[in-house]
């Protein structure tokens, strides 16, 4: 298992106190923080702790987004190969930022979908998994304790800075659509950054099942794969207080 590098002890302690895990934390205990879904700043009680001097940080929307058409997808997975060959220099679909393999057999819901199953064992529909380039607050970026997920200057897409990523995988846990990958070889998370405005998956698709279009909010389209809740770092929690006020509190200007 990949070792976590340089995670601030203060962040671990503050997150532990907020979640009730105040005992000494091993790496296993630290990762447990991402599994124990914290249902928001109200439960953390951070409003009282930080007061009204929190900075307001808003991430601009990306310029574009990949739009997937499941009715056209033939499940060839060429998009996954194109993604990893361009970004990683190797053909490794498990690292792909677009997810096809997990939906080929049973669809995103897995083999328990019954009559509603997609994929080869269901109605034949292959539902592609694409990064939705979430608007603010961006779940993966908010969960990162190192602020390693930033805006790509060309596209505005959120991209993981491998030099800053410590491999804690909190961003993976935070994404409601499970769209981040983890490079075990490099020990860092990876995500779609739209290939600097020319997505290779779109170019490689032989069925025109993928399109690169101007950004639109896709976060309400389709169901989430999981709750996607995670413990934000104290610094990120501060930045949220101006517009995301804990329940029962009023913003102080």
pLDDT digits (tens, 9 = 90+) for 21-30: 444 445 554 4
Q: What is the pLDDT of residue 44?
A: 41
Q: What is the pLDDT of residue 221?
A: 77
* β-sheet bridge partners, residue 159: 150
Q: What is the pLDDT of residue 232?
A: 66
Q: What is the pLDDT of residue 155?
A: 92
Distances from the Cα of 146 to the Cα of 8, 129, 131, 177, 245, angstroms: 9, 26, 21, 22, 23
Q: β-strands 188-190, 149-151: how paired?
A: unpaired
CA 14 to chain centre: 22
Helix axes 9-19, 27-35, angle to 10 degrees: 50
CB 190 within 8 A of CB 182: yes
Q: What is the pLDDT of residue 90?
A: 92
Of the listed ranges 69-83, 202-216, 225-239, the one predicted with least confidence: 225-239
Q: What is the pLDDT of residue 165?
A: 96
Mean pLDDT, residues 222-235 taken together: 65
pLDDT tier, 51 (very low <50, low <70, confident <90, very high otherwise): very low
Tell which residue, 162, 136, 141, 135, has the closest CA to residue 236. 141
Q: What percent of the chain has pLDDT over 90?
A: 45
């Amino acid at each position: 298992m990949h070792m976590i590098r340089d995670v601030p002890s203060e962040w671990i302690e503050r997150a532990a106190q907020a979640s009730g895990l105040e005992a000494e934390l091993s790496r296993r205990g630290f990762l447990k923080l991402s599994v124990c879904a914290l249902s928001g700043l109200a439960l953390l009680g951070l409003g009282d702790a930080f007061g009204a001097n929190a900075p307001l940080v808003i991430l601009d929307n990306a310029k574009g987004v990949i739009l997937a058409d499941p009715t056209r997808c033939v499940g060839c997975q060429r998009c996954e190969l194109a993604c990893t060959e361009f970004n990683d220099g190797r053909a490794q679909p498990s690292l792909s930022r677009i997810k096809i393999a997990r939906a080929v057999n049973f669809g995103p819901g897995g083999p328990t979908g019954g009559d509603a199953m997609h994929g080869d064992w269901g109605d034949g529909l292959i539902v592609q998994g694409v990064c939705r380039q979430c608007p603010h607050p961006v779940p993966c970026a908010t969960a990162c304790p190192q602020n390693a997920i930033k805006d790509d200057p060309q596209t505005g897409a959120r991209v993981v800075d491998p030099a800053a990523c410590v491999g804690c995988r909190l961003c993976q846990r935070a994404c409601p659509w499970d769209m981040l990958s983890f490079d075990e070889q490099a020990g860092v998370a990876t995500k779609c950054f739209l290939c600097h405005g020319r997505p290779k998956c779109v170019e490689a698709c032989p069925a025109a099942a993928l399109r690169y279009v101007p950004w639109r909010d896709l976060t309400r389209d389709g169901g989430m794969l999981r709750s996607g809740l995670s413990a934000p770092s104290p610094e990120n929690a501060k930045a949220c207080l101006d517009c995301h006020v804990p329940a029962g509190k009023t913003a102080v200007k």
